[in-house]
Amino acid sequence: MRSRKLMNQINVVPYVDVMLVLLVIFMVTAPLVTPGVVDLPSLGKAAQVPAAPLEVIIRADTSLMLREPVDAAKGGGQTQERRVSTAELVSALRDKQARNPEQPVVIAADKDVRYEAVLKVMDELQKNNIRRIGLMVKAASR
């Protein structure tokens, strides 16, 4: 009787055959697959220049300032800044948005101002139907 010898090698030929068949299949089908075409929207020239935002500034002492652009005929792209109360702020923003409904409003708060003060101003503006409100931040310097 012959003793069986222990086989300590793996026969990889069938695995190589399968891999070659798969490679051929992928090489044949890859050119046949058409990539999806994305129809991008085109951008035309805007009929009017977007309005410069009105800035509501909250100082460290929680006082409110309103910075608004001066009319182009008067100041040529300059801004004016004035101290306002909450009621005056709401009234001024309502007037501006009545003339231009797409007039954006941004809130710029000092970094030492409590978050509660910013939320109070935002809440007051939203209660009075002031739209397009955003927060202004300073880009971090690197």
Backbone angles phi, psi at 98, to 5 degrees: -70, -40
Range in 37-41, 52-56, 138-142 with the lowest mean pLDDT:
138-142
Mind listing the domains of the chain with CATH numbers? 54-135 (3.30.420.270)
86, two tokens: 């909450």
Q: What is the mean pLDDT of residues 22-46?
A: 80
Q: Are 109 and 117 in contact (CB under 8 A)?
A: yes
What pTM did the predictor assign? Answer: 0.59
Q: How far apart are alpha carbons 68 and 79 in whole angstroms?
A: 5
CB 134 within 8 A of CB 104: yes
CA 127, CA 88: separation in Å to the nearest integer?
A: 15
